[in-house]
């Protein structure tokens, strides 16, 4: 058996996965163990979990594949440095990062002193890893594969055709031009300064109009071959590099935009404590519109060149579920696949599969990622032991605990509680891979209640009021409720809800009539499918409101974290395995 550990390391969303003989057996982000969002650094705890899940030790690993190769595009880097003479601090920081990434064996020796790694560490070019993470685990025999993000190995986008396990990259966009940097810079301008805040701009955009689109077309220019460039007068990254740090594991990105951007837009950057005004809503809508214009221009050029109707997407920008949901409306593509962790965490999977197909010389692929349940799981005995240890605390808070062995009874009881307006913490099976809660680490509610958004945002999630919630819907019912009909297992696309249905499920419909859906099948998640089916039988509604089980923290991983989150928030019920906990 060939064991390959795939890593995304020393970058936001640090992660590890294990591929055994061409099959993914485990994948997890380090943030779930460290409890710091987007944790960066060396993913030693994720590695430890993957080894345990695979029933192996570090000594059994033949290869470690990393989603970065410092040698990639070296000539371009040298030429750019000679022409532009970046400041010495930036160069020293790049050297430091390269040394850290190159000391994988040293990190393993420190993290696992009782075991030794004698295999080979292989670097896989960043966008090759992204493209592999999309195509090689997709159900498609061939696809047009597209990767778009901030930067990785001196490029920000790559695309080409994939057939079997072969990945052919025909086009790239190189540093300093980047749609990811554009979106991040405008996210900062809008007063959302934290790493990964771009999703807030997507949530804010439907509240505005694209009145700044003409100005932003001066910032981003598209070209006939599908590429794009930035007007660098509005950016800092090419002058000083991206000020990227991870103090204590928390990634921090320095300012990306210049004062010229405020002059262009006619108002100053928003501070993170400033109230949102209409100009901010309008700018968010304009940013999303500009991104979509460049993104669909790229996809249109790719389809025109390759005349292939299947599309696989990866890279941080592939997390833009609003744009992804418009692919069928705005391009000729007829099928799309985006894996559960399309961003840099997913590069760990891509690096592992790219190496597997290279060393095995096998063109055929034997694994399809049709579900995301790749993380830790906990037995009923472990949960029972926790509840026993916390018995006094549960009693003092007026909590009742009931064990329900029959799954149908458990789902019927839970569905009835949801229909009665209760907020449910739902903790089951293996944790999800990727940033979305997909029915194993979820908070669940009735989508029919118009007040549920406010209840969740203010008393459970404690987040901005404009942010929407997603519906988990039975796959066979999608076409009855949405204007598109497709598999969306990883909540990576936003579709328009049918107008006549919007008033029926107001808690999961955004102000523009859209919803970021997850399709649920019995094969992928039998228990979650049974729960939604129970709610459907009770109410006639084939979906639940589903949001991540957390409170301004990474999604809960362990039963202890789930119980703690339940007790400190105002959830009504916690379903912890087959234990039904009320208060």
Alpha helices in 266-336 (DSSP H): 278-306, 321-324, 327-330
Question: What per-residue confidence (pLDDT) applies to 95?
Answer: 47
Question: What per-residue confidence (pLDDT) applies to 524?
Answer: 98
- Cα(57)–Cα(117) distance, rounded to whole angstroms? 9
Residues 86 and 202 reside in one and the same domain = no
Q: Which value, to the nearest 10 degrees, does the dihedral of the CA atoms of residues 80, 227, 214, 84 take?
A: 0
The fraction of the chain above a pLDDT of 90, given in percent, is 87
Is the distance from CB of 344 to CB of 8 less than 8 angstroms?
Answer: yes
Residue where one domain finishes, among candidates 326, 360, 394: 360
Residues 510 and 556 reside in one and the same domain = yes
On whether residue 374 sits in a domain, the answer given is: no
- Cα(489)–Cα(373) distance, rounded to whole angstroms? 11
Q: What is the pLDDT of residues 436-472, one digit of tens each?
A: 999 999 999 999 999 998 889 888 887 788 888 999 9
Q: Return the CATH number at 227.
A: 3.30.420.40
Q: What is the pLDDT of residues 149-160, one digit of tens each?
A: 999 999 999 999
The domain of 211 spans: 138-338
- Cα(376)–Cα(340) distance, rounded to whole angstroms? 16
Q: Does pLDDT of 322 surpass 90?
A: yes
**Mean pLDDT of the region 557-578:** 97
Number of domains in the chain: 3
Peptide bond before 176: cis, by omega within 30 degrees of 0? yes
Cα separations (Å) of 558 from 275, 319, 379, 405, 538? 36, 26, 11, 21, 31
Question: What per-residue confidence (pLDDT) applies to 229?
Answer: 98
On whether residue 54 sits in a domain, the answer given is: yes
All residues at 6 or more sequence positions from 114 whose CB lies less than 8 Å from its CB, including other chains: none
Residues 463 and 514 reside in one and the same domain = yes
Q: Rounded to 5 degrees, what angle do the CA atoms 209, 468, 36 make?
A: 115
Backbone angles phi, psi at 372, to 5 degrees: -115, 15
**Mean pLDDT of the region 167-185:** 97
pLDDT-wise least confident of 241-250, 336-345, 347-356, 407-416: 241-250
Kindly provide the b/e burial profile for residues 516-545, where b requires at least 16 CB atoms within 10 angstroms of the residue's own CB: bbbbbbeebbebbbbbbbbbbeebebbbbb
Residue where one domain finishes, among candidates 338, 368, 395: 338
pLDDT band for 92, please (50, 70, 90 cuts). Answer: very low
Nearest C-alpha neighbor of 201 from the set 63, 60, 320: 320
- Cα(43)–Cα(41) distance, rounded to whole angstroms? 6
Which residue's entry shows tokens 């790049």?
A: 94
Q: What is the pLDDT of residues 481-533, one digit of tens each?
A: 999 999 999 999 999 999 999 999 999 999 999 999 999 999 999 999 999 99
**Mean pLDDT of the region 368-395:** 97
On whether residue 369 sits in a domain, the answer given is: no
Cα separations (Å) of 290 from 159, 391, 445? 20, 54, 34
Residues 146 and 63 reside in one and the same domain = no
Q: Does pLDDT of 245 surpass 50?
A: yes
Q: Name the DSSP letter for residue 294.
A: H
Q: Does pLDDT of 107 surpass 90?
A: yes
Residues 412 and 559 reside in one and the same domain = yes
Residues 125 and 200 reside in one and the same domain = no
Rg (CA), the chain: 23
**Mean pLDDT of the region 100-120:** 87
Q: Return the CATH number at 451.
A: 3.90.870.20
On whether residue 343 sits in a domain, the answer given is: no
Strands 310-314 and 543-548: unpaired
Joined together, the tokens standing for residue 344 give: 């840099």
Residues 405 and 545 reside in one and the same domain = yes
How many angstroms separate the first and last alpha carbons of the chain? 49
Residues 444 and 500 reside in one and the same domain = yes
How many CB atoms lie under 10 A from the CB of residue 349? 35
**Mean pLDDT of the region 152-169:** 96
On whether residue 367 sits in a domain, the answer given is: no
Residues 353 and 498 reside in one and the same domain = no
Q: How many residues can be counted in the chain?
A: 583
**Mean pLDDT of the region 79-84:** 79
Q: Name the DSSP letter for residue 487.
A: -
Residues 578 and 512 reside in one and the same domain = yes
Residues 49 and 159 reside in one and the same domain = no
pTM beyond 0.75: the answer is: yes
Joined together, the tokens standing for residue 22 give: 């061409």
Residue where one domain finishes, among candidates 330, 360, 390: 360
On whether residue 368 sits in a domain, the answer given is: no
Residues 272 and 123 reside in one and the same domain = no
**Mean pLDDT of the region 296-315:** 98
On whether residue 258 sits in a domain, the answer given is: yes
On whether residue 429 sits in a domain, the answer given is: yes
Is the distance from CB of 352 to CB of 541 less than 8 angstroms?
Answer: no
Question: What per-residue confidence (pLDDT) applies to 90?
Answer: 52
**Mean pLDDT of the region 248-264:** 94
E-strand stretches of 248-378 = 250-253, 310-314, 335-338
Residue 212 burial by Cβ neighbours in a 10 Å radius (0-12, 13-18, 19+):
buried
């Amino acid at each position: 058996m060939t064991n390959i550990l795939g890593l995304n390391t020393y970058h936001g969303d640090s992660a590890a996965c294990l591929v055994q003989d061409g099959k993914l057996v485990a994948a997890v982000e380090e943030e779930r163990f460290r409890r710091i969002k987007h944790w960066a650094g060396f993913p030693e705890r994720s590695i430890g979990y993957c080894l345990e899940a695979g029933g192996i030790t570090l000594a059994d690993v033949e290869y470690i594949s990393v989603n970065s190769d410092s040698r990639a595009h070296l000539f371009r880097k040298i030429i750019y440095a000679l022409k532009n003479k970046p400041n010495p601090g930036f160069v020293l920081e790049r050297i430091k990062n390269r040394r850290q990434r190159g000391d994988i064996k040293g990190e393993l020796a420190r993290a696992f002193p009782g075991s030794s790694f004698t295999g080979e560490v292989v670097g896989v070019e960043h966008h090759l890893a992204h493209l592999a993470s999309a195509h090689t685990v997709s159900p498609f025999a061939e696809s047009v594969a597209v990767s778009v993000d901030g930067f990785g190995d001196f490029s920000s986008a790559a695309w080409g055709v994939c057939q079997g396990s072969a990945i052919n990259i025909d086009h790239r966009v190189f540093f300093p031009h980047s749609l990811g940097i554009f979106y991040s810079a405008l996210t900062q301008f809008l007063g959302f300064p934290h790493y990964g805040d771009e999703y807030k701009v997507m949530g804010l955009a439907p509240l505005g109009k694209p009145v700044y689109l003409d100005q932003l077309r001066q910032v981003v220019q598209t070209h006939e071959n599908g590429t794009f460039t930035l007007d660098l007068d509005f950016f800092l990254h090419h002058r000083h590099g991206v000020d990227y740090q991870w103090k204590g594991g928390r990634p921090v990105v320095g300012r990306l935009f210049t004062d010229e951007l405020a002059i262009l837009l006619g108002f100053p950057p928003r501070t993170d404590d400033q109230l949102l005004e209409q100009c901010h809503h309008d700018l968010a809508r304009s940013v999303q519109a500009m991104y979509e214009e460049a993104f669909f221009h790229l996809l249109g050029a790719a389809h025109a060149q390759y005349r292939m109707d299947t599309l696989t997407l990866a890279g941080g920008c592939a997390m833009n579920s609003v744009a992804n949901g418009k692919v069928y409306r705005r391009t000729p593509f007829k099928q799309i696949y985006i894996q559960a962790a399309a961003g840099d965490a997913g590069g760990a999977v891509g690096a592992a599969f790219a190496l597997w197909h290279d060393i095995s010389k096998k063109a055929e692929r034997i694994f399809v990622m049709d579900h995301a349940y790749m993380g830790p799981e906990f037995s009923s005995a472990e949960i029972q032991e926790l509840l026993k240890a916390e018995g006094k605390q549960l009693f003092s808070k007026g909590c009742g605990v009931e064990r329900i062995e029959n799954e149908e009874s458990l789902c019927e009881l839970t569905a009835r509680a949801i229909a009665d307006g209760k907020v449910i913490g739902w903790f089951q099976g293996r944790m999800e891979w990727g940033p979305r809660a997909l029915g194993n680490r979820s908070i669940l509610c009735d989508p029919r209640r118009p007040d549920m958004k406010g209840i969740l945002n203010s008393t459970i999630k404690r987040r901005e009021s404009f942010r929407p919630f997603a519906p988990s819907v039975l796959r066979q019912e999608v076409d009855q409720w949405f204007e598109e009909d497709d598999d969306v297992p990883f909540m990576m696309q936003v579709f328009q809800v049918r107008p006549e249905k919007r008033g029926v499920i107001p808690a999961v419909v955004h102000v523009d009539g859209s919803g970021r859906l997850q399709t649920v099948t019995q094969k992928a998640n039998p228990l979650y499918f049974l729960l939604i089916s129970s709610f459907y039988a009770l109410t006639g509604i084939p979906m639940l409101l589903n949001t991540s089980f957390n409170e301004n923290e990474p999604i809960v991983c362990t039963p202890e974290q789930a119980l703690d989150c339940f007790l400190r928030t105002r959830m009504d019920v916690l379903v912890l395995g087959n234990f039904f906990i009320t208060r």
